[in-house]
């Protein structure tokens, strides 16, 4: 069964159909790409999937559960996590605390427990520290656990953002232009990281990307958006050789 | 010796300012708004304690706990009813003006209930005073409790913000509300918690203030509220250690100014400090320099 099943998802802002009838089905463990020219509505799709925008039409199912129109917190709990096009880490917080923030909904203790510093708080915080360090180790960030996130080099900030998203224990991970602003070396390292995340965490990943090398290198399937509509969909090689897709990218 | 006495009084008054300033600074840091009704929550706290002791005959400590609970509920209610609906729709100005409105509302409710006359406050601190230098410096029990309370509150609050899940949520909301929400953090709940903590502290500040200056009127909270706001800006608004240092410095400046310059211009000196700070270091002592992105 598909992890993500989207049917005729649409949203209009005033008269503008930013996304119009977007349909996609992503299987568990798939690495799926969403591409399209600037302003095609890719990030809007992400905002619809994560509950930032409410769709005007359409249905979104995550692992069989209808999550259409739910708010960001409910969707986070249901199991969708994301990273951002322009990195949005909590820059003034240490690297470790950024990941711990990701676990926010997975471990609970009451505010009073926190204020009174009861044993339960220490117990949960210790578990959080251990689990967060495990994730940081996977990304090779464990040595920088106490560094402020804003002081990390760019490539590591990207990794930390993925680590923080994984801490929410998602079923589906959305990456918004993970290679933006990276040089070819960093990009190829990122490709390894994404593949590794998929294999190590048994994760399903949907990513938006402009870097065709990355897209053709790691995505198994693609959807192409143009002016909010689906232009093509299918196996990566097939889609990329589609004349309409080429035309849309070259602007003909 | 008189200098030491003034200094002690300054630190004591400043500790009260610091506790009030924490409420301002936390709400500003997390909800990005100035809650000008914060000072009046102090007044409510003081009245509740007074009523609980004189009318209900409760033990002072119990009365303080009830006042903290009452102010917590009051703070959360104010946030929910007056500020939350404006957060999404309105400009920051709308919230600011509403806060001033809430401030007048609280003052006038108190006026209606208790009248304009000052009510004598009962000192809730039953600690003996401490005599140093052969009686050259006498530190009252109230002063000792005030300073200790300030230190304890500061430590607990710093630990809470830095080392707990709820505290991390506060920091996250303060930095990037939308990203925090996408990590599954309840932004409204976190802001509400901030008001709850700030208001509980305001109750403590009310008790301490009125124990040192034992009269309560409906306007008791107004001036200390404004001065605590100055202290928060002085220390760098949004910063917890900034509120502490700003509060104490301001208290010391006020008392020394009153003693050595003129008691009439003491308040002018306090606000003069604000103007100088804003001119020299607009972000305050511990504030971060925010660079405008072009």
The CA distance from A158 to A89, in Å, is 9
Q: How many cross-chain Cβ pairs, A to B, lie less than 8 Å apart?
A: 75
On whether residue B271 sits in a domain, the answer given is: no
- Show which of residues 107-166 on chain B sit within 8 Å of chain A, judged by CB atoms: 156, 159-160, 163-166
DSSP calls for B12-52:
HHHHHHHHHHHHHHHHHHHH-S--TTHHHHHHHHHHHHHHH
Contact A76 B184 (CB under 8 A): yes
Contact B185 A121 (CB under 8 A): no
- B234 close to B284: Cβ distance less than 8 angstroms: yes
Q: pLDDT digit of tens for each residue in chain A (252 aa)?
A: 789 999 999 998 888 888 888 999 999 999 999 998 888 888 999 999 999 999 999 999 999 899 998 999 999 999 999 999 888 999 999 999 999 999 998 888 988 898 888 999 999 999 999 999 999 999 999 999 999 999 999 889 999 999 999 999 999 999 999 988 888 888 998 999 999 999 999 999 999 998 888 998 999 999 999 888 888 888 988 888 888 888 887 665
Residues of chain A in contact with residue B236, where contact means CB-CB under 8 angstroms, are none
Q: Does A148 contact B at CB distance below 8 Å? A: no
Q: Dig out the tokens for B7 from the structure.
A: 């200094």
Domains and CATH numbers, chain A: 2-79+170-250 (3.40.50.300)
Question: What is the domain range of residue B140?
Answer: 12-219
Q: Dig out the tokens for B150 from the structure.
A: 């300030």
Contact B169 A117 (CB under 8 A): no
Q: Dig out the tokens for B199 from the structure.
A: 């208001």
* Cα–Cα–Cα angle for A58, A63, A68, rounded to 5 degrees: 25
On whether residue B269 sits in a domain, the answer given is: no
Contact B179 A111 (CB under 8 A): no
- A108 close to B169: Cβ distance less than 8 angstroms: no
Q: How far is A244 from chain B (nearest CA, A)?
A: 35
The residues, any chain, with a CB within 8 Å of residue A62's CB and separated by 6 or more, are A3, A4, A5, A75, A78, A79, A80, A171, A172
Give me the residues paired with residue A10 across strands. Answer: A57
Residues of chain A in contact with residue B156, where contact means CB-CB under 8 angstroms, are 115
Query: For the segment B45-68, what is each residue's pLDDT rounded down to a tens digit?
Result: 999 999 998 888 888 889 999 999
pTM: 0.88
Helix (H) or strand (E) holding A117: none
Give burial (CB, 10 Å; 0-12/13-18/19+) of A220. middle
- Closest CB to B183: pick one of A101, A107, A124: A101
The CA distance from A48 to A228, in Å, is 13
Query: For the segment A58-91, what is each residue's pLDDT rounded down to a tens digit?
Result: 999 999 899 998 999 999 999 999 999 888 999 9
The CA distance from B285 to B246, in Å, is 8
Closest C-alpha to A75, from B179, B186, B184, B178: B184
Q: What is the ipTM of this complex?
A: 0.86
The residues, any chain, with a CB within 8 Å of residue A155's CB and separated by 6 or more, are A182, A186, A189, A190
Contact B165 A164 (CB under 8 A): no
Q: Dig out the tokens for B158 from the structure.
A: 């710093």
Number of domains in chain B: 1
On whether residue B110 sits in a domain, the answer given is: yes
- Closest CB to B176: pick one of A90, A97, A114: A90
């Amino acid at each position: 069964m598909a992890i993500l099943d989207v049917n005729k998802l649409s949203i209009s802002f005033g008269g503008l159909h930013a996304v119009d009838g977007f349909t996609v089905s992503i299987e568990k463990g798939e690495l799926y790409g969403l591409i399209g020219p600037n302003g095609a509505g890719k990030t809007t799709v992400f905002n619809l999937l994560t509950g930032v925008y409410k769709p005007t039409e359409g249905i979104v199912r995550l692992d069989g559960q209808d999550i259409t129109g739910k708010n960001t917190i409910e969707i986070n709990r249901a199991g969708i996590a994301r990273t951002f096009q322009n990195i949005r880490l909590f820059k003034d917080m240490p690297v470790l605390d950024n990941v711990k923030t990701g676990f926010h909904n997975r471990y609970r203790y009451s505010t009073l427990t926190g204020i009174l510093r009861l044993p339960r708080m220490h117990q949960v915080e210790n578990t959080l520290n251990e689990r967060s360090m495990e994730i940081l180790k996977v990304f090779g960030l464990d040595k920088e656990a106490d560094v402020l996130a804003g002081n990390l080099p760019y490539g590591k900030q990207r990794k930390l953002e993925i680590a923080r998203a994984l801490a929410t224990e998602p079923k589906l991970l959305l990456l918004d232009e993970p290679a933006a602003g990276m040089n070819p070396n960093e990009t190829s390292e990122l490709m390894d990281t994404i593949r590794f995340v998929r294999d190590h965490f048994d994760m399903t990943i949907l990513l938006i990307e402009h870097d065709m090398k990355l897209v053709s290198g790691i995505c198994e399937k693609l959807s192409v958006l143009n002016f909010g509509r689906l232009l093509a969909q299918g196996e990566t090689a097939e889609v990329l050789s589609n004349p309409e897709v080429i035309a849309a990218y070259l602007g003909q | 010796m008189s200098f030491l006495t003034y200094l002690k009084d300054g630190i004591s008054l400043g500790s009260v300012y610091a506790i009030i300033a924490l409420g301002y600074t936390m709400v500003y840091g997390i909800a990005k708004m100035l809650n000008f009704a914060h000072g009046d929550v102090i007044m409510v706290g003081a009245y509740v304690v007074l009523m609980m002791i004189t009318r209900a005959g409760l033990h002072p400590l119990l009365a303080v706990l009830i006042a903290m609970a009452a102010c917590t509920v009051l703070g959360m209610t104010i946030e929910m009813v007056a500020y939350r609906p404006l957060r999404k729709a309105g400009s920051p100005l709308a919230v600011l003006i509403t806060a001033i409105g809430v401030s007048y509302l609280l003052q006038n409710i108190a006026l209606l209930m208790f009248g304009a006359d000052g009510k004598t406050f009962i000192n809730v601190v039953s600690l003996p005073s401490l005599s140093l230098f052969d009686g050259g410096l006498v530190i009252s029990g109230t002063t000792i409790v005030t300073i200790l309370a300030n230190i304890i509150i500061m430590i607990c609050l710093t630990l809470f913000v830095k080392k707990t899940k709820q505290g991390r949520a506060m920091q996250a909301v303060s930095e990037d509300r939308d990203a925090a929400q996408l990590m599954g953090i309840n932004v409204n709940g976190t802001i509400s918690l901030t008001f709850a903590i700030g208001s509980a502290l305001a109750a403590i500040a009310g008790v301490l203030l009125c124990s040192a200056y034992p009269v309560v009127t409906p306007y008791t909270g107004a001036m200390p509220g404004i001065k605590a706001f100055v202290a928060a800006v002085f220390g760098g608004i949004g910063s917890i250690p900034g509120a502490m240092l700003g509060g104490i410095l301001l208290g010391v400046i006020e008392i020394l100014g009153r003693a050595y310059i003129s008691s009439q211009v003491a308040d002018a000196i306090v606000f003069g400090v604000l103007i100088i700070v804003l001119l020299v270091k607009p972000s305050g002592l511990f504030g971060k320099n925010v660079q405008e992105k072009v």
